Amino acid sequence: MRQLLGVLGVLICLKLTGHSMPAWAAAPDDQDLANGDRFLKNNQYAEARSALEAGIAKNPSNVQAHFNLAEACRGLKAWACAEDHYEMALDLDAKSRAQGTREARLRKMQVWQSLEEVTAWRLLEEAKDLIINGQIPPDKMKQAEEALDGAKELGLNKDQQAIYQRLSVSVPGRHSSAFSDSPRPSDAPMALVPAGEFTMGSTTSDDEKPVHRVYLNAFYMDKYIVTVGQYAKYLHATGMQAPPEWEVMNQPHHQRRPVVNISWSEAATYCKWAGKRLPTEAEWEKSARGTDGRLYPWGNDPPTRLHANFGRKEWAGHMALVPVGMFEMGKSPYGIYDLAGNTLEWVNDWYDHDYYKKSPTKNPQGPTTGKSKVVRGGNWLYVQDFLRSSFRFNAEPSSRQFGYGFRCAKNQ
């Protein structure tokens, strides 16, 4: 185990020193920021962090300073600090005038990759810290498994995979070589939503009125949004035409991210091929909010970065999405993930602004005809109000957007 920990430390250092910075505009003539930049170039991470924090206190909107501070924290293995300031650099840079240029897009993708690498190293180190004499205490086993699963779902590089495999030996029943493709659709985990009534709608928006009670038969809902890896298997098996930007999505580090740019008919066809169907609007809402009328899948507390992927401001390639199942604090009462944020999700129903006024009280299927279909759940771009479990949105069935994905359901 000492040898493993030593290897982990060496690999982390290699990842840190081998990183190259994206080129933002030069920082203003501030002595603290200049000192921080000089210290960082000399790998004096503690000194760099101190100087950069002093400079940012005076100039909190400096993009390059936040990125440099993230790099310094990364060098110190201060993972939370590194994650915070990579995100701050991305958020501030989204407001820049050059955000639509090819150079700016490439820069953002590089920072997204840095952010995800840091998060994966942090999770691997969390798992490593739980190992005592080659074993994980029983009361820490769940925490270790979640850390390893979270790191794996981020898309590990070759060095990280080697560490993951070695750490996995300490977790009983875990296959250290578990880097196969995404699960087959028939194997995709589903959650049972029991039969019974729930409260549907809200008083917030006119098309969510009136609040009413709905009874649903029991059904199963996919625990995760359909991923790029799963959709790739579908395309390979059926020969169907790939969605736009498929060559961008279908990369090794995106296999566990949601597939997007999917029309309603493509989503419905995939679910049928998988032996399932698209959920009804009522099934989707019950899956998200349970039977206690909560605002969000996790409860009534406002969304945070620990609950959902939202408020990202602009598309940054497929890096704007996060791998499915990352937000343990954001899951629904039935253990279903990502029902708020990441992607909007197609459901089966046609959209009718006034449907709730005439909807059946048992197993509603939506209007028989219409011009647009319902999409639910908000996405990576939206602000918190659109993440409410009762929020309704609609789109033409042929619409394709970077924020449109789906999951499947089936009868019990």
Q: What is the mean pLDDT of residues 359-377?
A: 97
- The radius of gyration computed from the CA coordinates of the chain, to the nearest angstrom, equals 23
Q: What is this structure's pTM?
A: 0.62
In the chain the first and final C-alpha atoms are separated, in Å, by 47
For the stretch 313-330, pLDDT in tens is: 777 778 889 999 888 899
DSSP for 139-208, please give it.
GGHHHHHHHHHHHHHTT--HHHHHHHHHHHTTSTT--TT---PSPPGGGS-EEEE-SEEEEE--SSSGGG
pLDDT of residue 312: 82
Residue 23 lies in a domain: yes
Question: 183 — phi, psi (to 5°)?
Answer: -60, 150
Residue 198 sits in a domain whose CATH number is: 3.90.1580.10
**Where is pLDDT greater, at 43 or 148?**
43
Q: Are 348 and 280 in contact (CB under 8 A)?
A: yes
For the stretch 270-282, pLDDT in tens is: 999 999 999 999 9
**Where is pLDDT greater, at 381 or 404?**
404
Residue 346 lies in a domain: yes
**Where is pLDDT greater, at 320 or 360?**
360
Q: Is the pLDDT confidence value at 20 over 60?
A: no
pLDDT of residue 1: 39
Please check whether residues 47 and 96 belong to one and the same domain: yes
- What is the rounded average pLDDT for all residues in the chain? 84
Positive or negative torsion for Cα 357, 360, 365, 370: negative
Residue 180 lies in a domain: no
Q: Count structural domains, the chain.
A: 2
Please check whether residues 85 and 230 belong to one and the same domain: no
pLDDT of residue 175: 45
Please check whether residues 140 and 69 belong to one and the same domain: yes
Q: Are 95 and 63 in contact (CB under 8 A)?
A: no
Residue 26 sits in a domain whose CATH number is: 1.25.40.10
Block residue for tokens 């250290």: 176
Q: Is the pLDDT confidence value at 262 over 80?
A: yes
Residue 176 lies in a domain: no
Q: Are 193 and 219 in contact (CB under 8 A)?
A: yes
Nearest to 321 by CA among 183, 184, 228, 393: 228
Residue 208 lies in a domain: yes
State the residue range of the domain holding 391: 185-411
pLDDT of residue 180: 40
Please check whether residues 377 and 239 belong to one and the same domain: yes
pLDDT tier at 179, thresholds 50, 70, 90: very low
Positive or negative torsion for Cα 246, 264, 240, 152: positive
List the single range of 24-38, 70-84, 269-283, 356-370 with lowest mean pLDDT. Answer: 24-38
pLDDT of residue 357: 96
Q: What is the mean pLDDT of residues 51-63?
A: 92
Q: What is the DSSP letter of 375?
A: E
Please check whether residues 33 and 135 belong to one and the same domain: yes
pLDDT of residue 243: 94
Residue 92 lies in a domain: yes
Q: Is the pLDDT confidence value at 99 over 60?
A: no
